[in-house]
Amino acid sequence: MQQASVIVVLDESIDAEQLAAQVGGAVIHRYERAFRGASLVVPEERLPILEEIQGVQALYLDRLVEPDTDASPRFIGAPVAWQMLGGQGNAGEHVTIGVLDLGIWPEHPSFADPDPSGKPYPPPPVRPGANGFGDAPPRNTCDFGNMGANPDDAPFACNNKLIGAYTYLETYKTVIGLLPDEFDSARDDNGHGTHTASIAAGNAGVSASIFGLPFGTVSGVAPRAHIVAYRVCADQGCYQSDIIAAIEQAIRDKVDVINLSIGGGASPYRDPVELALLNAYEQGIFVAASAGNDGPQADTVEHRGPWVTTVGASSTDRAFVSTLLLVADNGDTLQLTGASVTPGILAPAPVVLADDPATPGEVGGRCSAAMGPVPAGAIVVCNRGSSARVLKSYHAANAGAAGMILRNLTPQGVNPDNHFIPTVHLEADAGEQLIQFLQSHSSVHATFTPGTRAAAQGDVVAPFSSRGGSQQILGINKPDLVAPGVQILAGHTPLPATLLGGLPGQLFQVLQGTSMASPHVAGAAALLKAIHPEWTPGQIKSALMTTARTANVVLPDGTPATPFDRGAGRLNLGRAGDATLTIDAPADEFRTLANQLWNANYPSLFLPDMPGRITVQRRIANLTDKKRVWVLTVDAPPDVQVDIPKVIQIEPHSELLLPITVDASTVPLGEVRHANINFKRGREHHDFPITLVRGQPVVTLTAACTPNVLSRLERTDCTLTLTNRSFAEAHVAVVDRLPRQLTLLPETVEGANVDGNGISFGGILPPATPPQIGAVISPTASPAGYVPLAGFRGSVVVNATDESIANFNVPGFFYGGETYSRVGIVSNGYVVVGGGTADDVQHINSDFPDPAVPNNVLAPFWTDLNPEQGGRILINVLTDGADNWIVIEWENVPNYQSADERNTFQLWIGTAQDAHPEEDISFVYGPSITRGNRGNLTVGAENAFGNAGVTVYFNGTGTPPRPSYPHGDFEVAIVSQPGAPGGSHTIRFGAQAGHMPGNWTHCAEMTANLFQGTHIACVSGQVSH
């Protein structure tokens, strides 16, 4: 029986045990502080029943998410904050950081008490577990020493540095289970958890070495802070229900800061972990989280909730390098520089390309487990890709290599990993030089130096760091800031459970990722909490963002980074501790303004659909006992105007309401602009970034004048068009004042009132009607019945896995009155018209219509399928000579619960470029078809808004699918009716050019009840001489 893990929010009418009994499930975690609810493991077929039980306020499928620092504290200005606390030896005392990660290596010197200077730690303000465990059973607060599961799990007594260590893996162990070599405790067998904890709060003055090579001393950002480790992840990732249980306990333990270097949170108001973090924020806990490692593509950032401080990655001014010298038999040489922390190859050794199954277009191989033998003592060249970098050195060692040169095929950054043999990692340009040298010379030998510290360019936003972008519809720009996350030297576990941890026995490693950047901010927040114990999480966030460094923060190509890349800037503790001005919001404000977060009191402004002109407000707080006067200046592009007072005065311990009017009337639709407000008082200054995306609100306004180049006294005819695109009634008001070069001709005005040298209009525009979707069961719905795609040339096999989506560009077709040329093929038997994202992949089928994602769906057979267990998905374009169809086939794909229950079905979509271009969509079924996984199945379709749709079959209701021609007669035709546009109003008038030559612009302005601000449409022209 297939089990599913779910997270439920409950009202007072039901408890978790009652709920579990009704659906035959088991309670894994109970939640009180994060929210009132629980996590359960239940039979998958009972999930539809669970949603309908009275008292269940919300249900979330439990997702498995993945985990996404030496010189970096100095680089971010931590010594300035240390000095404010009496020096590094006191920095962070009496502040507690909770690290939710893969556990911790408790014997690591970074967590010793006393610290390396001999100074003992004071007792923490709150001992872990002192406030109980709620309704859950008591839990080991220093969970080490489970030698029955792993004899290497030595007992450890927590101290006043590492004050607690929990294990929250109940769901993970129930659903997946631990590997034989993993610790069943809070002990870290991966290294990621020890690394992040030591970055945030590792002891100062710890000597660091790797493979016997000394790399100096390291310190955490808040070296005297207390640490509580919450292990929530194991080898394959982290279940959300386990993370929430840890957040629940962290709230009880009264930690001051949480670090979450784990993915998730792209839809924060629908993500149970993010909602639990909102409650942590409300309880006074600052939360730092990693932005993700999916850059540099736009709109890839994670943790988008305003209550979380989301951190991208940038470089420091230090790197770990090795010099590679190649010498050919004719004496030619080539010297290259790469990344390394391993010993070098000091005696010349022959260089060979990996004998590995070739990837088309590549020179050499990727050093997989299938690679051929390497001549003894040789250095092998391995291409990056397909497998983890460290695994390549493992395979190379097994093949007989003495050393490895790892080369990037595209620019990705270089990583000095803990390899199994001496290794130097080259960037793509250096790697290409290497290949050219090898191809043009014979008998090439090489040496490379041991890894060593070297100067590097700092403040470069890492290519992998996830980016914000124009599609951040919530109205908050992320990331909030960047911090060091490239080549960070910090702690490691000496006993990794898998080969990915590198050669065992090392207490340090160099990693990169936004996982490393986030704990820098967590440590910085701990320092600010120590300096200002009364500060709220929002005030700490404001101080960190508004004092961040923006000057010379660049992209790898040297161009200036924008707020989409670096947020407010790079973390700068040299200024943050002195902040006397903050802009922060309570948790309830984020709840109330969830659909208009640009109005929340956030220390930046992002306008995702800028209508033209808008006014927002910010509450500016003076945290001192003196009156403060601030001078405000604006830096903005020429086509953006930001109107603010030039000087503000704020009374002691008071707030001032600052109006900010942004006018982007002349910015072309769809374009992005960035601006900045600077607050300056003496040497203290703060920056407030502004980003806008020029858009059309739901009520559109267009303007045109013909002609627009006029001779003196010549007439132009102008048209304004208002259209309501929403599904609600629009109350609109329009004003258009003509410039002095034009004179209105009053007798020509239609659809508006004459208003001086201009017009005005007020009225109501009816709402639009959404597209309607219908379905007809017909034996002749399709053009040919079931025709296996395997018999046609050109059929493409979709790269499908369990819970996957693959987007394809296709010939244009009609659906719901719109033309589309892209489809997202989901492994679970449906297509997202127009393409989709990972959020559109759902294995629990819905009844149509349903406003929740996915929307714009064609679902011939939506159930939980698993192409990893067998079968395949294909796509092709077929023709009969006159008409063409896009055909997508799920061929013999099994239900998730049983590989023996196979399903074959097709989606046929007629194209818009053939003899019959009208809408033509049908579902066809092959000889093998079931009633879906555990009887859960949707056959139907839905529009793009999720407010109209149809099902011919849903979980036992309706007519289930059967084989189509030639094996039967069941087919489904999908028919849609285009939506009706909303009300439209046209205003026409004529204007005459005067005697004054020159350029002119007139702008029509519209306000409405359905959007904030003023929508502005402008027309420009000229009166010629």
The CATH number covering residue 742 comes to 2.60.40.10
**Token pair in block for residue 39:** 């996590």
DSSP strands (E only) in 640-683: 641-643, 647-650, 655-663, 672-681
| Residue 325 and residue 448 in one domain | yes
| 45-54, 342-351, 465-474: segment of lowest average pLDDT | 45-54
CA-closest candidate to residue 903, choices 873, 881, 947: 873
CB burial class (10 A; 0-12, 13-18, 19+) of residue 665? buried
> What DSSP assignment string belongs to 361-377?
T-SSB---TTPPP--TT
Flag whether 572 is in a domain: no
| Residue 399 and residue 532 in one domain | no
| DSSP helix/strand/coil, 1006 | strand
| 75-89, 142-156, 497-511: segment of lowest average pLDDT | 75-89
Flag whether 815 is in a domain: yes
**Token pair in block for residue 33:** 């502080």
**Whole-number Å distance between alpha carbons of 434 and 340:** 17
Q: How distant, in Å, are the alpha carbons of 118, 415, 783, 787, 792 from that of 780?
A: 84, 59, 7, 14, 22
CA-closest candidate to residue 864, choices 841, 831, 840: 841
CA-closest candidate to residue 470, choices 562, 554, 599, 564: 564
**Whole-number Å distance between alpha carbons of 352 and 375:** 8
What confidence score (pLDDT) does residue 852 get? 87
Catalytic positions are 101, 192, 515
pLDDT band at 222 (very low <50, low <70, confident <90, very high): very high
Whether the Cβ atoms of residue 549 and residue 572 lie closer than 8 Å to each other: yes
Torsion sign, CA atoms 787, 791, 794, 798: positive
**Whole-number Å distance between alpha carbons of 507 and 490:** 8
Residues 469-496 pLDDT 10s: 998 989 999 999 999 999 999 999 999 9
| CB hemisphere CA count around 517 (13 angstroms) | 37
| Residue 725 and residue 777 in one domain | no
What's the DSSP call for residue 138?
P
**Whole-number Å distance between alpha carbons of 162 and 107:** 10
The CATH number covering residue 19 comes to 3.30.70.80
| DSSP helix/strand/coil, 250 | helix
| Residue 205 and residue 280 in one domain | yes
Backbone angles phi, psi at 430, to 5 degrees: -65, -40
**Whole-number Å distance between alpha carbons of 289 and 277:** 10
| Residue 807 and residue 942 in one domain | yes
pTM above 0.85, yes or no: yes
Domains identified in the chain, total number: 6
**Whole-number Å distance between alpha carbons of 950 and 939:** 9
**Whole-number Å distance between alpha carbons of 888 and 905:** 8
> What DSSP assignment string belongs to 142-169?
B----TTT-TT-------SSEEEEEE--
Residue 221 has pLDDT above 80, yes or no: yes
What confidence score (pLDDT) does residue 838 get? 81
| Residue 776 and residue 753 in one domain | no
CA-closest candidate to residue 768, choices 834, 695, 719, 817: 817
| Residue 923 and residue 992 in one domain | no
What confidence score (pLDDT) does residue 52 get? 81
| Residue 53 and residue 128 in one domain | no
Owner of token pair 């006191």? 90
Choice between 898 and 142, residue whose per-residue pLDDT is larger: 142
The CATH number covering residue 635 comes to 2.60.40.2310
What's the DSSP call for residue 329?
T
What confidence score (pLDDT) does residue 69 get? 40
| Residue 898 and residue 992 in one domain | no
Torsion sign, CA atoms 406, 407, 410, 414: positive
Q: Do strands 998-1008 and 984-993 pair parallel, antiparallel, or not at all (unpaired)?
A: unpaired
Where does a domain end: 427, 453, 479?
A: 453
| Residue 104 and residue 194 in one domain | yes
Q: Do strands 226-231 and 213-218 pair parallel, antiparallel, or not at all (unpaired)?
A: unpaired
| DSSP helix/strand/coil, 637 | coil
Flag whether 639 is in a domain: yes
Q: With residue 260 as reference, give the H or E element that holds it.
A: strand 257-260
**Whole-number Å distance between alpha carbons of 527 and 522:** 9
Where does a domain end: 677, 694, 711?
A: 694
Where does a domain end: 418, 453, 488?
A: 453
pLDDT band at 76 (very low <50, low <70, confident <90, very high): low
What confidence score (pLDDT) does residue 123 get? 96
User: Exposure pattern of 802-819 as b/e (b: 16+ CB <10 Å)?
Assistant: ebbbbebebbebbbbbbe
Flag whether 562 is in a domain: no
Conformation bin of residue 791: beta by default, left when phi > 0, alpha when psi is -120 to 50:
alpha
Q: How distant, in Å, are the alpha carbons of 238, 273, 727 from that of 100?
A: 10, 12, 43
**Whole-number Å distance between alpha carbons of 242 and 39:** 9
CB burial class (10 A; 0-12, 13-18, 19+) of residue 670? exposed
The CATH number covering residue 335 comes to 3.50.30.30
Work out the percent of the chain whose per-residue pLDDT is above 90. Answer: 83
Q: With residue 826 as reference, give the H or E element that holds it.
A: strand 818-826
What's the DSSP call for residue 789?
G
CB burial class (10 A; 0-12, 13-18, 19+) of residue 515? buried
**Whole-number Å distance between alpha carbons of 107 and 156:** 8
Residues 848-861 pLDDT 10s: 999 989 999 999 99
Count of helices and strands (H, E) across the chain: 15, 58
Q: Do strands 96-101 and 257-260 pair parallel, antiparallel, or not at all (unpaired)?
A: parallel
Backbone angles phi, psi at 19, to 5 degrees: -65, -45
Flag whether 246 is in a domain: yes
**Whole-number Å distance between alpha carbons of 292 and 289:** 9
What's the DSSP call for residue 1013?
S
Flag whether 852 is in a domain: yes
| DSSP helix/strand/coil, 526 | helix
Work out the percent of the chain whose per-residue pLDDT is above 70. Answer: 99
Flag whether 141 is in a domain: yes
What confidence score (pLDDT) does residue 72 get? 61
Flag whether 159 is in a domain: yes
> What DSSP assignment string belongs to 894-943?
EETTEEEEEEEEEEEEE-SSSSS-S--EEEEE-S---S-BTTB-EEEEE-
CA-closest candidate to residue 402, choices 347, 460, 484: 347
**Whole-number Å distance between alpha carbons of 197 and 201:** 6
**Whole-number Å distance between alpha carbons of 788 and 964:** 12
Residue 70 has pLDDT above 60, yes or no: no
What confidence score (pLDDT) does residue 859 get? 98
| Residue 331 and residue 288 in one domain | no
pLDDT average, residue stretch 425-444: 95
| Number of other residues whose CB lies within 10 A of the CB of residue 782 | 26
Residue 608 has pLDDT above 70, yes or no: yes
**Token pair in block for residue 724:** 């309501």
| Residue 229 and residue 323 in one domain | no
- What mean pLDDT, rounded, does the chain reach? 93
> What DSSP assignment string belongs to 416-447?
----SS-EEEE-HHHHHHHHHHHHH-SS-EEE
| Number of other residues whose CB lies within 10 A of the CB of residue 472 | 21
Residues 925-941 pLDDT 10s: 999 999 998 889 999 99
What confidence score (pLDDT) does residue 450 get? 96
> What DSSP assignment string belongs to 576-611?
HTT--EE----HHHHHHTTT-GGGS--SSEEEEEE-
Q: What residues contact 945, with CB distance under 8 A and at least 6 apart?
A: 727, 770, 771, 851, 855
The order of strands in the sheet holding 162-167 is 162-167, 226-231, 96-101, 257-260, 286-290, 309-314, 481-484
Query: 796 has which bridge partners?
Result: 875
Residues 368-396 pLDDT 10s: 888 899 999 999 999 998 888 999 999 99
Residue-range definition of the domain harbouring residue 157:
72-316+462-546
pLDDT average, residue stretch 324-352: 96
Whether the Cβ atoms of residue 603 and residue 586 lie closer than 8 Å to each other: no
DSSP strands (E only) in 156-256: 162-167, 206-210, 213-218, 226-231, 238-239
